[in-house]
Amino acid sequence: MPPRLLFTIVFIEGYCSLGAEIIALRRLIPHVGSSIVVTAPTIGLFLLALALGYYSGSRVASDYRKVVARNFMISAALMGAGLAGGSVNAIFSGTQAGLAYLVFIGGILCPLAWLLGQTVPILTNLMLAQRSGEAAGRALYWSTLGSFLGSVTLSLVVMQMFGVWAAVLLGALMLVAGAALVQRPRPVAATLLVAIAALSLGANLGDRQRADTAYADYEVQSVIRGGMVAPRAFVVNNQHASVIDDSQPPNHARYVQHMRRILLDDLGFVGRDVLVLGAGGFTLSQGEALNRYTYVDIDPAIRAIAERDFLREPIRGEFIAADARRFVVDTKTRYDAVVVDVYSSRTSIPGHLVTREFWQDTRHALKPGGAMLANLILDGQLASSYARNLLATIESAYGRCAVEVLRKSAPRSNVIVTCIANEGGDATRIYVDERNLADVDSARSP
């Protein structure tokens, strides 16, 4: 095989194999989140399948071009159809999340990695080199270069400019082209390649109507809510992030209305600066002219999507595209309130936004005596380890906070936590029969 052709094929393999892993991690976010307990096993299983592919490829002793062409053809079908948004949603629809995850990884991602992993050890048999080390090194160079460019261009360029569907389609078509380059296809093989390309186009072009970016899937759905006029929900990663209707003034999701009451009625905010981490549907400030709002969200596309499809009007306030934690660390501005609403999926907050250090960082962004409001999704009884530990983590940074469960009988409920950034204060102590200082403390209290 001519060296240029061989290295082109190996480059395509590297580009598409790591590209498939990046796409798979992105596709999983709406269903199981992006925590380390999801990403680490996914990467590990992908690498295991890749390693098994290397070993399998080393055992191929003949028909090198035919085997690689076949592998590319099957991989193109797995990528073009299996990683399409509709296919992934179908796998997770009505199926327990853990089982659906195993089906997705074991049925799509790992077979794809195993097939493409065979490419380098097989094609090095066709290289003209004085040393086996030279042949392997040059092939691995082009494969790894392809992996680097695949991960960077798909995540930072293709997904950002066009959407996840375009990244899937690009990878599938590159594999179809690679299969044709490895071995000139005969009529049956050519027909299969055309069919796979058409399947990939059909499975992914329909996703153009979906607003999916490198960070999240967005959709506006009509919903039924008692007392609301033609309500619609802003769905982010399969979670109803916010709801509005056509009333004048519009009604909003219950948790948003609750936080607005805390800010406007309980705290009496007028002419104050409010920082909102996690844009949601930008409804916290909709029609609220008393205060100044700054929204921070990691996805730069969310504002345009919300204004066009959900609010149907410009947002009220300033929008900054940035990571929430990095913003509160770097900002020199101090706010009267920080609202934390940063869910990336139905029940998942990004891991770096639940630690004590993050809550301490939000406190640094507050003026003395400022308020921090957090919207959490926890079990209604606050009995789970996650609920108890997350609330304890927040209070380790702020001290005692108000905790309000909006639906106490529900398996999952919005839980609004309100903390005040007061300085100092006496250490807590437990009242006991032998030394009960409750009356003394009560008398000292304002």
321 DSSP β-pair partners: 297
Give the CA angle between residues 220, 289, 219 to the nearest 5°.
5
Joined together, the tokens standing for residue 111 give 């077979």
Decide if 158 is inside a domain: yes
Q: Which helix (H) or strand (E) holds 88?
A: helix 85-92
Residue 347: pLDDT over 60: no
146/41 same-domain check: yes
Q: Is there a contact between 326 and 361 (Cβ–Cβ < 8 Å)?
A: no
Domain of residue 27, CATH code: 1.20.1250
Determine the pLDDT at residue 275. 97
Q: Is there a contact between 232 and 220 (Cβ–Cβ < 8 Å)?
A: yes
Residue 209: pLDDT over 70: no
* Rounded Cα–Cα distance for residues 259 and 265 (Å): 10
307: CB partners within 8 A, 6+ apart: 282, 313, 314, 315
Residue 227 pLDDT class (50, 70, 90 cuts): confident
Decide if 430 is inside a domain: no
* Rounded Cα–Cα distance for residues 34 and 40 (Å): 10
C-alpha distance from residue 53 to each of 30, 121, 127, 138, 306 (Å) = 29, 9, 19, 19, 44
Decide if 269 is inside a domain: yes
Residue 370 pLDDT class (50, 70, 90 cuts): very high
Residue 279 pLDDT class (50, 70, 90 cuts): confident
Please compute the mean of the pLDDT values over residues 106-119 and round it to a whole number.
96
Where helices occur in 93-157 by DSSP H, the ranges are: 97-104, 110-117, 119-123, 132-153
Decide if 399 is inside a domain: yes
Determine the pLDDT at residue 346. 53
**By mean pLDDT, which of 136-150, 158-172, 222-236, 366-380 is the weakest?**
222-236
Decide if 42 is inside a domain: yes
200/228 same-domain check: no
Range of the domain at 154: 3-212
Determine the pLDDT at residue 130. 57
Please compute the mean of the pLDDT values over residues 261-283 and round it to a whole number.
94
Residue 345: pLDDT over 60: no
102/150 same-domain check: yes
Q: Kind of pairing, strands 217-222 and 211-212?
A: antiparallel
Choose between 114 and 349: higher pLDDT.
114
* Rounded Cα–Cα distance for residues 220 and 231 (Å): 10
Residue 217 pLDDT class (50, 70, 90 cuts): confident
Amino acid residing at 139: A
Residue 341: pLDDT over 80: yes
Residue 428: pLDDT over 80: no
Determine the pLDDT at residue 353. 85
Residue 306: pLDDT over 80: yes
232/366 same-domain check: yes
- Among 187, 212, 237, the domain boundary falls at 212
Please compute the mean of the pLDDT values over residues 403-408 and round it to a whole number.
92
Q: Is there a contact between 389 and 359 (Cβ–Cβ < 8 Å)?
A: no
Most confident of 93-97, 217-221, 387-391: 387-391
Q: Phi and psi of 277, rounded to 5°?
A: -95, 115
Burial class (CB in 10 A: 0-12, 13-18, 19+), 244: buried
Determine the pLDDT at residue 185. 86
Residue 264 is classified by DSSP as I
Decide if 263 is inside a domain: yes
Please compute the mean of the pLDDT values over residues 402-420 and round it to a whole number.
92
- Dump pLDDT digits (tens) for 94-108: 778 889 999 999 999
405 DSSP β-pair partners: 415
Please compute the mean of the pLDDT values over residues 128-154 and round it to a whole number.
86
Determine the pLDDT at residue 118. 95
189/222 same-domain check: no
Residue 117 pLDDT class (50, 70, 90 cuts): very high
Where helices occur in 183-316 by DSSP H, the ranges are: 187-205, 254-261, 302-305
- Give the closest residue to 335 by CA, choosing from 275, 285, 295: 275
Q: Phi and psi of 17, rounded to 5°?
A: -70, -50
354/246 same-domain check: yes
123/263 same-domain check: no
Residue 265 is classified by DSSP as I
Domain of residue 415, CATH code: 3.40.50.150
Decide if 440 is inside a domain: no
Determine the pLDDT at residue 12. 96
C-alpha distance from residue 201 to each of 136, 171, 217, 395 (Å) = 35, 11, 20, 51
Chain mean pLDDT for the chain: 89
Where helices occur in 154-296 by DSSP H, the ranges are: 159-161, 164-182, 187-205, 254-261
195/225 same-domain check: no
Determine the pLDDT at residue 446. 64
Decide if 85 is inside a domain: yes
Q: Is 251 helix (H, G, I), strand (E, B) or coil?
A: coil
203/244 same-domain check: no
193/290 same-domain check: no
- Among 156, 180, 212, the domain boundary falls at 212
* Rounded Cα–Cα distance for residues 439 and 115 (Å): 74
Using the structure block, give the residue that is written with the tokens 């209604």.
380
Determine the pLDDT at residue 401. 93
pTM of the model: 0.79
Determine the pLDDT at residue 314. 94
361: CB partners within 8 A, 6+ apart: 325, 328, 329
113/193 same-domain check: yes
270/365 same-domain check: yes
Total domains present in the chain:
2
Determine the pLDDT at residue 120. 93
